[in-house]
Amino acid sequence: MNLTKEDALHCAKVFYDYFSNFSRVDDYMRDQKLASLSDLPSSPLFPIEEDLFSDFSLHPNDMDFEVCEIPQETWETLLNITSSHINIAPVGRNVRLAVKEKNTQKFVGFLRLGSPVINCKPRNEMLGQVFTQKPEWATRFNNSSMMGFVIVPAQPFGYNYLGGKLLAAICCSHEVREIVNRKYNMNLCLFETTSLYGSSKQVSQYDGMKPYIRYKGLTDSDFVPLMHGKAYEDLRNFVEDKVGEIVDPDSSSKKLKTTMKIVALVKAALKGSPEEAAFLETIENAKGLTEQKRYYVSDYGFKNNIDYVNCKSDILIPGENHEKHYLVNLIKWWKNKATNRYETLKTENRLRNELEVWTSGKYIQIIR
């Protein structure tokens, strides 16, 4: 499986032309998001955004919430018009949840928990080992750990009421823990997630959330971001016309593996030539659009969760913060923070009062 130099130069130009359009990570993410909107199903009876929370006169102290499961298509549509990021289901376990404000019966946000990524530097440092090194470690880790892939508040609920903190806290609730445990016969005691942004935004919605969530360091970031839309399809088809099928059609992370294989083929074809350096520079510049992510964890209030994950204990022991992880207590904690935020914005006339959805045609901030 090889490309000719001429074919490799064509591919290199495609990479250059695509990634030279973006100077910042939010430019790249906006392009990703806009490319994904064409896949949204239409709603023939009523605008789907009517299901989103929009009563911004409601004070946080007058709110109450429930966690619910809704039909997959509805969940995905509401998430896609809400989130500024594209959302891809993780490989393995997958728990989709929605959070509803009870008085208005409107959704304030969306959650997806799934199997954690295999390699994570700050997690390895926290555990003191790499769980894949022994079968029994891998079994225990997979039985006790989940990752938050989607923690997305409706906007401007998130802005007006610190909605991201509410949703993140709910992920760390005993109620959500039990939903996961029942579905997958687990004993969940380690929740992890990463910030959407790293170097471009030095704070995260997960900051200031002790004892529920704690910051544990930065992830590594050394991969080529993905191309999308027609540019990607044309490039993949061009290469497959030359060398045949690039990756197994049933492979997980097929798009990522296809991209990495094309990069490797181009590097091999240009090796030792003057054009090789230019292509490597293009790839390094593209990597600048990815970022180290801030890594956060929750122990659900168990004082020995690390020992449990590491197979040093077979029983989870509740710690001093265990009771705080019940939903009713999490909501009380959030109301104190949300009240300060809401009243400050109201006093300063900075409350946002219009839904921010990706069906409106308005310019929506990516980093907000």
The residue ranges of every structural domain in the chain are 5-26+224-287, 40-221+291-347
Give the class (CATH, top level) of 40-221+291-347. Answer: alpha beta
Looking at residue 239, the DSSP 8-state letter turns out to be H
Q: Is 17 exposed, middle or buried (0-12, 13-18, 19+ CB in 10 A)?
A: exposed
Contact at 8 Å (CB) between 297 and 126? yes
At residue 328, φ and ψ (nearest 5 deg) are -60, -35
Q: Which secondary-structure segment (H or E) carries 200?
A: none
Least confident of 157-166, 215-224, 236-245: 215-224
Residue-wise pLDDT tens digits, 150-182: 999 999 999 999 999 999 999 999 999 999 999
58 torsion bin: left (phi>0), alpha (psi -120 to 50), beta (else): beta
Give the model confidence (pLDDT) of 247-295 as tens digits: 888 766 688 889 999 999 999 999 999 999 999 998 888 876 666 788 9
Backbone φ, ψ for residue 191 (5° rounding): -105, 135
What is the DSSP code (8-state) at residue 66? E
Model pLDDT, residue 218: 86
| pLDDT band at residue 238 under the 50/70/90 scheme | very high
Q: What is the structure's pLDDT at 365?
A: 52
**Structural tokens at position 128:** 């003191």
Share of the chain above pLDDT 90, in %: 65
Task: Of 272, 271, 295, 286, give the one whose Cα is nearest residue 197.
Answer: 295
Contact 165, 205 (CB under 8 A): yes
